[in-house]
């Protein structure tokens, strides 16, 4: 809490992304509005033995644009992506290592899986004739999921709260929510927060194939991610990072920072139901959205837009649609509802942060991007999913939903900043 005993207001003053459809904030946003898909055949490894042969890879990313070669070689791609997105976000916020009170700036950046690609490569060395003595001394630091947060803090000398969250696909929404709470209670003035993921590797694709979670529409990758469409057959793997700069309103105002939006409230719940399937009727999602709305101190009739979890799985999309109807009643049909995953795929632990960026940009610009590949309506998914073409939409209040394996539900409510 702040010194007067009241929770401090928290605003968003900077954002950075590296994604399958854009390596800058503007490129990302413009490609989303244009309905561009990032899906294509996988280039990272030979997919001849895999059921799924495509994904949303991070095209054209060069880590040396953001770090020297030595650091790049000692970081798994998920950490490289996080460092890049953090640099973009800090620059966007007008923050440098020299104009921050570093003990009042924290970092919470999560990853659902961490360095899976590094693990795979080092395990191959172990199982080869080269044996255990060829395992890299950097293997463990490269693999562990907290290293993105650690590397960011070390790069800029940030000494406030520092850790990683891991809650599958809800990971980076929990990162953002935790950062919101820490600023509210006065433990930090600024938080660098979000998530990063680099799971497009043999074990990642093979593992999700084994559980029948991925689309196998190999003949038309760009049409494969089709949230809420009757022909959906699983999600498309994506990768990348999203970083937000959260700041107390008082601190942001003092330095005349640009303010994108205000964080209104958060809702974190658990299904306590099944390791991969959502609770019947999206019961856990219902409670997370209601909690976020209550935390923001507003009514359900004030919400204009929902950026859904919308993964393009048969059960998940139906469940989330049912949850939205339960929370909003007849108003559900008047909301703008879309799925960013239709274009960038599922970024797993980075999804929440990247989609929070999208939600905030929608508030800032009063535009909502399309849900592409929506061709055949599903009677159980009958809301306004902004099919195939972006729309102008007055967005004062919006919710970003993310739900993870293990029954983790996170809803973050953002609102247009008003003094």
CA-wise closest residue to 352 among 310, 316, 312, 400: 400
Q: Give residue 90's Cα distance to chain centre.
A: 18
169 catalytic per annotation: yes
Q: What is the DSSP string of 196-253?
A: EE---SHHHHHHHHHTT-B---TT-GGGT--TTBTT---B-BB-EEEEEEEEEHHHHH
CA–CA gap between residue 179 and residue 107 (Å, rounded): 8
CA–CA gap between residue 353 and residue 370 (Å, rounded): 19
Q: Which residues contact 63 (CB under 8 A, 6 or more apart)?
A: 72, 75, 77, 80, 83, 84
Q: What is the DSSP string of 322-358?
A: HHHHHHHGGGGGGSEEE-THHHH-B-GGGHHHHHHHH
Catalytic residue (choose from 174, 251, 346, 408): 346
Strand partners, 387: 371
Catalytic residue (choose from 174, 251, 309, 369): 309
Helix (H) or strand (E) holding 403, with range, is strand 397-404
Catalytic residue (choose from 56, 75, 169, 381): 169
3-state helix, strand, coil in the chain (%, to 5): 40, 20, 40
Q: What is the DSSP string of 273-310?
A: S-SSSPPGGGHHHHHHHHHHHHHHT--GGG--EEE---
Residues in the chain: 419
CA–CA gap between residue 305 and residue 301 (Å, rounded): 11
Helix (H) or strand (E) holding 40, with range, is strand 40-41
3-state secondary structure of 16: strand
3-state secondary structure of 148: helix
Q: Which residues contact 362 (CB under 8 A, 6 or more apart)?
A: 305, 307, 336, 368, 369, 393, 395, 398
Catalytic residues, by residue number, are 169, 309, 346
């Amino acid at each position: 809490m702040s010194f007067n005993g009241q929770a401090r207001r928290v605003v968003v003053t900077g954002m950075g992304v590296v994604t399958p459809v854009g390596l800058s904030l503007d490129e990302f946003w413009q490609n989303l509005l244009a309905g561009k898909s990032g899906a294509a055949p996988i280039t990272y490894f030979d997919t001849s033995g895999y059921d799924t042969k495509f994904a949303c890879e991070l095209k054209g990313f060069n880590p040396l644009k953001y770090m020297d070669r030595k650091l790049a070689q000692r970081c798994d791609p998920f950490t490289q992506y996080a460092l890049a997105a953090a640099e973009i976000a800090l620059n966007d916020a007008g923050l440098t290592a020299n104009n921050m009170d570093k003990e009042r700036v924290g970092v919470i950046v999560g990853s659902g899986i961490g360095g899976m690609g590094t693990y795979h490569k080092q395990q191959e060395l172990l199982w080869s004739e080269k044996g255990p003595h060829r395992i890299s001394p950097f293997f463990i630091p490269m693999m562990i999921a907290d290293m993105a947060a650690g590397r960011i803090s070390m790069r800029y000398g940030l000494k406030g709260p520092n850790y990683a969250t891991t809650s599958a696909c809800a990971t980076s929404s929990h990162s953002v929510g935790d950062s919101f709470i820490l600023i509210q209670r006065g433990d930090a003035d600024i938080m660098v927060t979000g998530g990063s993921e680099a799971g497009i590797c043999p074990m990642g694709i093979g593992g999700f194939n084994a559980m029948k979670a991925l689309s196998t529409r190999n003949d038309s990758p760009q049409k494969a991610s089709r949230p809420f469409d009757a022909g959906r057959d699983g999600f498309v793997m994506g990768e990348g990072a999203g970083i937000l700069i959260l700041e107390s309103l008082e601190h942001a105002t003092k330095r005349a920072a640009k303010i994108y939006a205000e964080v209104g409230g958060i809702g974190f719940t658990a299904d306590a139901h099944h390791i991969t399937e959502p609770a019947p009727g999206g019961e856990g999602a219902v409670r997370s959205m209601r909690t976020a709305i209550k935390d923001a101190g507003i009514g359900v009739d004030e919400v204009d837009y929902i950026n859904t979890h919308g993964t393009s799985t048969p059960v998940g999309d139906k469940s989330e649609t049912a949850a939205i109807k339960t929370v909003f009643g007849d108003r559900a049909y008047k909301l703008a509802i879309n799925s960013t995953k239709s274009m960038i795929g599922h970024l797993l632990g980075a999804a929440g942060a990247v989609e929070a960026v999208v939600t905030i940009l929608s508030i800032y610009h009063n535009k909502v991007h399309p849900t592409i590949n929506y061709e055949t309506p599903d009677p159980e998914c009958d809301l306004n999913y902004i099919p195939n073409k972006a729309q102008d939409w007055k967005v004062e209040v919006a919710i970003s939903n993310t739900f993870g394996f293990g029954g983790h539900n996170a809803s973050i409510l953002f609102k247009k900043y008003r003094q």
